[in-house]
Structures are given as C-alpha cells and as structure tokens.
Amino acid sequence: MQKQNNIFLPDILFNAMGEQDRSKKFLSASELKPLCNKLHLEGKKIVFTIGSFDLIHSGHAAYLLKAKTWGDVLIVGVASNKSKKAMRGKGLPLIDQKNRVELLSYFKFVDFTTLINEQNLMPLLTRIKPDVFYTLGVDWKSHLRKPEEQKYIGKYGGKVVKTKRSKPFVSASAIVEYVADLKIKEIIEYFFGKINIDLSKGDWKNRKWSGLKTRLRSESLYFGNQIKELGLFSHGYFGQMIDIKHLPRLSKDLKSKKKKIVLSSGACDLVHAGHARFYAKAKALGDILVLAVPSNRIIRKQKGRGRPIVHEYSRAELMAFFDFVDYAVIFDTDSINPIIEELKPDIFFTVKEDWNKVEESSIAGLLKNWGGRIELTPPQSPNLSSSRLIRKAAGLRVRQVFKEVLDEAEKWTSLKD
C-alpha cells in the first residue's frame, strides 16, 4: 500500500510518475470484490455510499466528504442510466453515467466508484461487505433502501449510518425544475411576448433570484474542535476560499517558494465533466491553480434574468472541493484584470473560442509586466454544456406538463370520427 499526503489510496491509483490516475478509480462489481477482500485483510475500514450525482453541487461534495470521515476508503455507487430511467422515467438522467462517474473521480476523497442499480443493492453489498453504509435517512423512509440491506450488514458487524439532509437542502431535481421553468418562460415570451403567465408559482415578479444556495462548508463540515481529529485540512481534501484582498500576500508567499501560479476563471454554474477536464489541464501547467468565479451580479449581467442557477458562494465552494483547485476567489468586477493585477499569475489559462480575443486585450499587456503568459485550450466537452443541459431539462419539463397534448401530436395520424 502507498500513502500520498497522509491519505490512504491503493497502489493502482498511481502511475510510474507517482501521479494519480483518475480513470482507475472506476471499478466494476467483480473488480471490487477482490480489492475489498484485500482491504479488509489489511484492516482498512470501507465506507460505501450511493447516489445519482446528476447535477452536482457543493452539498453533494460535503455529503461525500462526511462519508469519507467514517473510514479509510470511500466507495461511491453511482446510479446507472438504466436504474435512473426505471425510477424517474424517460429522459433521465440528464448526464450519462460515464460522465457522472468521471466527475466524481476529481474529488480526492472519493477513492473508488462503481455503477449500481439503486433498487437492487444486495448483490453489490455481498461483494464488498462495507464496514459503513452511509445513507440518507429519507431513503429509508421512502423505502428506496430496504430492511434486508440493513439486516445483512448487521450480520457481519457492519454499521448503517442514516444521516439527515443538510439544511437548506438543494436537490438536483430542484435545479432541473428551476432551469426548465426558466427556459420554458423564455421560449413562451419569445413567441408570445410578455404575457401574464408565471411558471414558478407566482414567484417570478417578486423574487430577486440569487441562485440556489447550499449550506456553507464552514457550517456543514467544521465540527469545532473535532476538525482537528478528522484531519480534513491535513489531508488536503479541498482547496481554500480566499478573499481578493488577500491575493497580493498569497502571490508573494507562493513566489517566494518558487511556485508557478496558474489563474483561470469561469461561471461554473451547472458543473459537468467538461469543466473538470478543462481546469485539470490548467492545474497541470503549474503548481498552484487559483480559480476566479464571477459573482451573481456579473453572471446576471452577462446571461440575463434567472442566472446564475447556483449562488456564487456555492459555485466557488464546489470548485474548491475538486483536487485541481488550490484557491477559489469570487470577483465582482466586469473585468478579471483586478484579479490578475493582485495575483500576478505566471499563466492565465482560458478557453480557445472565436469570441475570446484575450490575446488582443489588456490582459496580455498586464501579464507581460512580470513575464506571465496566456495559455488557451478548446472546450473539453463540446457535446456536454450548460446550455444543452438547460434545453434538455426544459424539454423534459414540457413533456411532463403537456404530456397529454404531446402524446396526441406524436400519433401522426389524421383525426376522424
């Protein structure tokens, strides 16, 4: 076995250079059995938890990190496409199982992932025999989790943890419903003008939308003095949130240690695997990645009413949970120039697209003052984007609301008596 930064991880997760190979975090059920047998023999405590992780937010990350604190190795079961479709209906999940599994691999505290059938966990439980089955209490009340699962785990001395939802709780389905209603209203108003219709139960005219906000990490993970016992910071499980005013001091400290600083930026509103690939590339160019996240006001100004979907702090906090982000900072200026001036990064990493004329902007001039440079790379998931997720969510919502008339239209036969 091998330890990295005081974190237990099996040897197979590291390549010849000692770098983590995220692709090897995914294992089939048959591959998990011999691994878990080996871990048990070595006295390692296995924690198992499950979920869909369709539209992931900081609440999901906090949940998984809490699960990790119950043992040495965290295995996450991700609901397969087939399982999700059987439970929720046609068109779900929004994101393919391969991409959902990939995104979880960028969390340092997730050791392994596997695909599961949410409605039939017994075959997998008998293979891995987790020491701790970490679950949401509501899943037992809804009978998604079954008494025989708890009975089986209890037989060999395992433990079932039934945790409460963090408050305020934000589910992926709430995000889907919101973005769908937003898109539907936009389309209706495009074709019919500003008509007297409200798809959000009377809330649109009076509510100033500031994004879905999950419980802050400082509230949900810091257990007073217990934080020292859990050792979350010493493990380096997540990056730090930092205020703009502290950037000069951070820059000076990092440069004194000969660390190469990479700066990148993004709204990170509906996060998917493409975002993770993009920022992982950014981190690979240097030692420290600082991610600048635009405020709610800036996103609203750029993208219009109803955006962002997720609150600025929750967006930044989620990105800080990923292993490639060292620092996340929220900025409230129309340009990222103030961040660049304060941080003085060695590299500014941004997307290579026709609209992005960064090399002709003042940013290039600023970077030259201290020998910095711009690096561009194309989008890492052209077929997986926030706009496509919103359109799909809207399509599913329309089908749900107007199912009867759509079914009639899809018959494609002339009406006759």
Instruction: Identify the domain boundary among 107, 130, 163.
Output: 163
Q: Say yes or no: 118 and 266 in one domain.
A: no
Q: Say yes or no: 158 and 248 in one domain.
A: no
Q: How many CB atoms lie within 10 A of CB 238?
A: 26
Pair of tokens at residue 201: 């139960």
Contacts of 121 (CB under 8 A, 6+ apart): 50, 77, 145, 146, 149
Closest CA to 48 of 39, 57, 56: 39
Higher pLDDT, 49 or 316: 49
Q: Say yes or no: 374 and 258 in one domain.
A: yes
Q: Say yes or no: 9 and 142 in one domain.
A: yes
Q: Is residue 226 part of a domain?
A: no
In this structure, are residues 338 and 331 in contact, taking their beta carbons and an 8 Å threshold?
yes
**Has residue 241 got a pLDDT over 80?**
yes
Q: Is residue 127 part of a domain?
A: yes
Q: Say yes or no: 123 and 25 in one domain.
A: yes
In this structure, are residues 4 and 233 in contact, taking their beta carbons and an 8 Å threshold?
no
Long-range contacts of 176-181 (CB under 8 A, 24+ apart): 176/54, 176/55, 176/94, 176/393, 176/396, 176/397, 177/393, 177/397, 178/212, 178/309, 179/270, 179/309, 179/389, 179/390, 179/393, 179/394, 180/390, 180/393, 180/394, 180/396, 180/397, 180/398, 181/397
Q: What is the mean pLDDT of residues 232-241?
A: 68
**Has residue 394 got a pLDDT over 90?**
no
Closest CA to 270 of 88, 399, 393, 415: 393
Reduced DSSP (H G I as helix, E B as strand, rest coil) percent helix, strand, coil of the chain, to 5: 45, 15, 40
Domain that holds residue 23: 2-163
- The three state secondary structure string of 222-285 is CCCCHHHHHCHHHHCCCCEECCHHHHHHHHHHHHHCCCCEEEEECCCCCCCHHHHHHHHHHHHC
**Has residue 201 got a pLDDT over 60?**
no
Q: Is residue 216 part of a domain?
A: no
Report the half-sphere exposure of 240 (CA within 13 A, side-chain side): 10
400, 401, 407, 412 alpha-carbon torsion, rounded to 10°: -120
Q: Is residue 351 part of a domain?
A: yes
Find the farthest-apart pair of alpha carbons in the chain and give their distance in angstroms, rounded: 84
Q: Say yes or no: 125 and 244 in one domain.
A: no
pLDDT in tens, 170-192: 666 667 677 777 777 777 777 76
Q: Are strands 327-331 and 288-294 parallel, antiparallel or unpaired?
A: parallel
Burial class (CB in 10 A: 0-12, 13-18, 19+), 325: buried
Q: Say yes or no: 256 and 116 in one domain.
A: no
Instruction: Identify the domain boundary among 163, 186, 204.
Output: 163
Closest CA to 314 of 78, 60, 140: 60
pLDDT in tens, 123-168: 999 999 999 999 999 999 999 999 999 999 999 999 999 998 765 5
Q: What is the mean pLDDT of residues 294-302?
A: 90
pLDDT in tens, 45-83: 999 999 999 888 888 888 899 899 999 999 999 999 999
Q: Are strands 2-4 and 7-9 parallel, antiparallel or unpaired?
A: antiparallel
Q: Say yes or no: 48 and 151 in one domain.
A: yes
Report the chain's mean pLDDT, rounded to a whole number.
Answer: 81
Pair of tokens at residue 256: 């004194």
Q: Is residue 231 part of a domain?
A: no
Q: Say yes or no: 150 and 261 in one domain.
A: no
Structure confidence at residue 109 (pLDDT): 93
Instruction: Identify the domain boundary among 115, 148, 163.
Output: 163
State how many domains the chain has.
Answer: 2
Q: What is d(CA 263, CA 29) in angstroms, rounded to the nearest whole number? A: 39
**Has residue 116 got a pLDDT over 70?**
yes
Closest CA to 339 of 276, 412, 250, 273: 250
Q: Say yes or no: 10 and 159 in one domain.
A: yes
Q: Is residue 370 part of a domain?
A: yes
**Has residue 325 got a pLDDT over 80?**
yes
Q: Is residue 213 part of a domain?
A: no
What sections of 325-361 are H helices per DSSP? Answer: 337-343
SS3 304: coil
Domain containing 260 — which CATH number?
A: 3.40.50.620
Q: Is residue 219 part of a domain?
A: no
DSSP H/E element including 61: helix 58-68
Pair of tokens at residue 181: 């209603």
